């Protein structure tokens, strides 16, 4: 079985800017994959190359075995991409747009049941005959996602689909996308909401300055990079030098430490006691993807 | 995997439905605003006809036996056909580019040729619809006969194809509305007004007669007019060759631009 997406040594330069520096990545069919990274890391450039909107300087990408440049017709047929920008065609209503979009991919009336399913799944059914221009921002976002799904692609790429979207829609969207994933669709997601990636995706790739800096299952990344997060409210104090290195974040008298095991917790607390610093409040939690992300890509995001 | 597999490459759609859908969308796009895209140019042409016919009716006959008002009608029809064919493809592309929704087409498996064919056909149809409407309305006021319908159809078709193609080039090239407006005002308008719509180039001084021969619009207008009156400033065969040749050259340039992804795919 061909991988859903195979990326081989992709480079992209815009003038002097080397935006992608040799990306290699394989995503198997049926995966729910997250591509994370700060703004400017190259995620959208990579997706644009995958979608055929940008040409790579070097390297190649295939979708289920079809090269996105030389076999672009087959590759695009298998691919549904949700663009990041909230774009729409003001001349048509939602259902018309979905029919057109499916039609470009050669699908006709036999596809109408699927269009109804998308409208239902994304909560757009009662807006089917509303002009795109008259939809609210959240509804436009749903319509944008619906358009990418209109031809029922087996590989779905969502570039920041929940940017500026309310909680209710996010829930609804993820339920629908999870259902598609269960039915066998491969999902690739870029997002700024790391908790989303953590909750949804089985595997994560992290990008920084045009390179992939981490690529592993979500569980492995969480285990590998950080164990526990200790948040202490100490007030306006200066920490003893030997625990400074464990400090990850400090703001308004609240100190957050990234620790690997329980012994380090004891160490921090006893050091504070020796220094005669009182703990006003304490909160201990498991590290999340955000901690992994921060430790890998720094605080640039 | 069952549902996902239903979009199998083996059952990949017939290749005709994609470009047909794009054509249908382009047609609906102008038809939805037909007041602006069809009615407005018909009214404009009619105003030209009424004003010029009134002012220049005493101008007498342009060719032997052809009164000025009658002479004016085919030129006005063809000018509107050309301008509207250009406007259709150019405005659709520039709007989609500025709005960003062209991405929906760029993400599809449509080939560059299918893309070209859809925009071209939509432009031709808009041009012909506007032309036909002006003809029908003008018919109420002016007694016009068509000497050679085949020539009329051939020039209307080729002319709108040429300008539709030119519109695609302009639409791909322009990044902003003001660039498109410049194209329209500094290229299309002067070429169409100086093409002999309102006069026979034989009434011009020799230098300007020669200059007119460099204007491709002249051949389209004159050839179209020969279809009506059976006579014109030059042989319709020359006009047909010039217009057909120009269309082929522009079509090849457009296809090359689309294939390379010029300004559309970075």
Query: CATH number, domain at A243?
Result: 3.30.70
Report the percentage of chain A scoring pLDDT > 70.
Answer: 98
| Helical packing angle, B40-56 and B112-141, nearest 10° | 40
Q: How many CB atoms lie within 10 A of CB A221?
A: 23
pLDDT score, position B10: 39
B108 and A76 within 8 Å at the Cβ level: the answer is yes
Is there a domain that residue A142 lies in? no
| Helical packing angle, B216-229 and B68-99, nearest 10° | 130
User: Which of helix, strand or coil describes residue B100?
Assistant: coil
- A208 with A252, same domain: the answer is no
Chain B residues within an 8 Å CB radius of A84: none
Note which residues in 97-156 of chain A have CB less than 8 A from chain B: 97, 100-101, 103-108, 147-148, 151-154
Determine which of A291-295, B34-38, B238-242 has the lowest per-residue pLDDT on average: A291-295
Residue A143's pLDDT band, with cuts at 50, 70 and 90, is: very high
Is there a domain that residue A268 lies in? yes
- A215 with A231, same domain: the answer is no
What is the number of CB-based contacts under 8 A between chain A and chain B?
121
Report the alpha-carbon distance of residue B224 to residue B70 in Å, rounded: 13
Tokens of B150: 């085949």
Report the alpha-carbon distance of residue A256 to residue A281 in Å, rounded: 12
B4 and A154 within 8 Å at the Cβ level: the answer is yes
Give the model confidence (pLDDT) of B72-88 as tens digits.
999 999 999 999 999 99
**Beta carbons of A280 and A234 less than 8 angstroms apart:** yes
A81 and B107 within 8 Å at the Cβ level: the answer is yes
B17 and A106 within 8 Å at the Cβ level: the answer is yes
**Beta carbons of B90 and B199 less than 8 angstroms apart:** no
Domain ranges, ordered by start, for chain B: 18-260
H runs (alpha helix) in chain A: 43-51, 72-77, 94-104, 112-121, 137-149, 167-182, 194-200, 218-225, 241-244, 262-274, 289-297
B29 and A91 within 8 Å at the Cβ level: the answer is yes
Which chain A residue has its CA at the smallest distance from B111's CA? A73
Among A2, A85, A105, which would you mutate to test the B interface (most chain B Cβ atoms within 10 Å of its Cβ)?
A: A105
Residue from B117, B110, B52, B111 nearest B79 by CA: B52
Report the alpha-carbon distance of residue B40 to residue B128 in Å, rounded: 15
pLDDT score, position B2: 46
Interface check A89 vs B, CB under 8 A: yes
pLDDT score, position B60: 63
Average predicted confidence (pLDDT) for chain A:
89
Residue from A62, A30, A77, A35 nearest A180 by CA: A30
Tokens of A57: 């300087």
Chain B residues within an 8 Å CB radius of A184: 1-5
Average predicted confidence (pLDDT) for chain B:
90
pLDDT score, position A199: 86
Among B23, B104, B117, which would you mutate to test the A interface (most chain A Cβ atoms within 10 Å of its Cβ)?
A: B104
- A264 with A212, same domain: the answer is no
Helix (H) or strand (E) holding A8: strand A5-14
Is there a domain that residue A141 lies in? no
Interface check A48 vs B, CB under 8 A: yes
Of B7, B110, B111, the CB nearest to A153: B7
Give the model confidence (pLDDT) of B49-59 as tens digits.
988 888 877 76
Interface check A83 vs B, CB under 8 A: yes
Residue from A156, A222, A192, A248 nearest A37 by CA: A192
pLDDT at B3 over 70: no
Q: What is the largest CA-CA distance in chain A?
A: 76
Chain B residues within an 8 Å CB radius of A73: 12, 109, 111
Tokens of A38: 């700060």
pLDDT at B100 over 60: yes
CA distances from B11 to A70, A81, A297, B8 (A): 20, 21, 44, 6
Residue B138's pLDDT band, with cuts at 50, 70 and 90, is: very high
pLDDT at B167 over 90: yes
The tokens 């008002």 sit on which residue?
B69
B3 and A184 within 8 Å at the Cβ level: the answer is yes
CA distance A241 to chain B (A): 52
pLDDT at B9 over 80: no
Give the model confidence (pLDDT) of A77-114 as tens digits.
999 999 988 999 999 999 999 999 999 999 999 999 99
Chain B residues within an 8 Å CB radius of A44: none
Chain A residues within an 8 Å CB radius of B14: 106
Total domains present in chain A: 2
pTM (two decimals): 0.87
Is there a domain that residue A94 lies in? no
- A213 with A253, same domain: the answer is no
What is the span of the domain harbouring residue A24? 1-78+157-164+184-220
Of A97, A104, A183, the CB nearest to B110: A104
Is there a domain that residue A106 lies in? no
Residue from A266, A269, A275, A270 nearest A238 by CA: A275
A105 and B103 within 8 Å at the Cβ level: the answer is no
| CB contact set of A246 (below 8 Å; sequence gap of 6+) | A257, A258, A259, A264, A268
Of A14, A107, A183, the CB nearest to B4: A183
Residue A165's pLDDT band, with cuts at 50, 70 and 90, is: confident
């Amino acid at each position: 079985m061909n991988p859903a997406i195979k990326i081989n040594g992709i480079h992209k330069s815009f003038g002097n800017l080397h935006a992608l520096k040799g990306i290699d990545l394989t995503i198997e069919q049926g995966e729910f994959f997250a591509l994370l990274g700060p703004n400017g890391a190259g995620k959208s450039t990579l997706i644009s190359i995958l979608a055929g909107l940008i040409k790579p300087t070097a390297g190649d990408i295939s979708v289920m075995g079809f090269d996105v440049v030389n076999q672009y017709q087959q590759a695009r047929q298998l691919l549904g991409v949700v663009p990041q920008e909230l774009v729409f065609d003001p001349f048509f209503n939602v259902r018309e747009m979905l029919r057109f979009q499916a039609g470009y991919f050669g699908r006709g009336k036999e596809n109408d049941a699927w269009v109804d399913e998308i409208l239902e799944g994304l909560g757009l059914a009662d807006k089917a005959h509303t002009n795109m221009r008259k939809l609210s921002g959240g509804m436009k976002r749903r319509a944008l996602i619906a358009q990418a799904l209109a031809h029922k692609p087996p590989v779905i790429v969502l570039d920041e689909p929940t940017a500026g979207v309310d909680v209710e829609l996010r829930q609804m969207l993820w339920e629908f996308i999870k259902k598609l994933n269960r039915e066998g669709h491969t999902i690739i997601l870029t997002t700024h909401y790391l908790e989303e990636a953590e909750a949804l995706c089985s595997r994560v790739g992290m990008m920084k300055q045009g390179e992939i800096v981490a690529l592993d299952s979500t569980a492995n990344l969480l285990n590998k990079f950080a164990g526990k997060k200790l948040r202490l409210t100490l007030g306006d104090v200066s920490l003893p030098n030997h625990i400074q290195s464990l400090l990850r974040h400090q703001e308004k008298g609240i100190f957050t430490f990234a620790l690997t095991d329980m012994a380090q917790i004891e160490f921090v607390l006893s050091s504070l006691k020796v220094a005669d610093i009182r703990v006003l409040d304490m909160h201990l939690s498991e590290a999340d993807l955000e901690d992994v992300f921060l430790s890998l890509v720094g605080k640039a995001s | 995997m069952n549902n996902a597999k239903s979009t199998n490459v083996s059952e990949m759609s017939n290749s005709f439905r994609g470009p047909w859908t794009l054509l249908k969308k382009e047609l609906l796009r102008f038809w939805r605003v037909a007041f602006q895209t069809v009615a407005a140019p018909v009214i404009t042409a009619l105003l030209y006809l009424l004003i010029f016919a009134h002012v220049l009716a005493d101008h007498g006959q342009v060719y032997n036996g052809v009164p000025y008002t009658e002479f004016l009608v085919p030129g006005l029809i063809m000018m509107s056909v050309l301008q509207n064919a250009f406007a259709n493809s150019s405005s659709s592309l520039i709007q989609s580019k500025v709005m960003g929704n062209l991405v929906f087409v760029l993400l599809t498996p449509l080939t560059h040729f299918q893309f070209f064919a859809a925009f071209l056909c939509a432009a031709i149809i808009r041009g012909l619809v506007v032309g036909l409407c002006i003809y029908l309305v003008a018919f109420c006021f002016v007694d016009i006969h068509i000497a050679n319908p085949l020539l009329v159809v051939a020039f209307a078709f080729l002319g709108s194809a040429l300008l539709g193609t030119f519109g695609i080039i302009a639409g791909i090239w322009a990044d902003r509305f003001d660039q498109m407006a410049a194209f329209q005002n500094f290229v299309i308008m002067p070429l169409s007004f100086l093409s002999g719509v309102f006069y026979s180039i034989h009434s011009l001084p020799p230098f300007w007669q020669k200059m007119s021969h460099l204007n491709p619009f002249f051949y389209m207008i004159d050839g179209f007019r020969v279809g009506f009156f059976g006579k014109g400033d030059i042989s319709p065969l020359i006009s047909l060759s010039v217009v057909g040749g120009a269309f082929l050259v522009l079509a090849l340039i457009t296809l090359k631009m689309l294939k390379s992804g010029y300004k559309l795919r970075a």
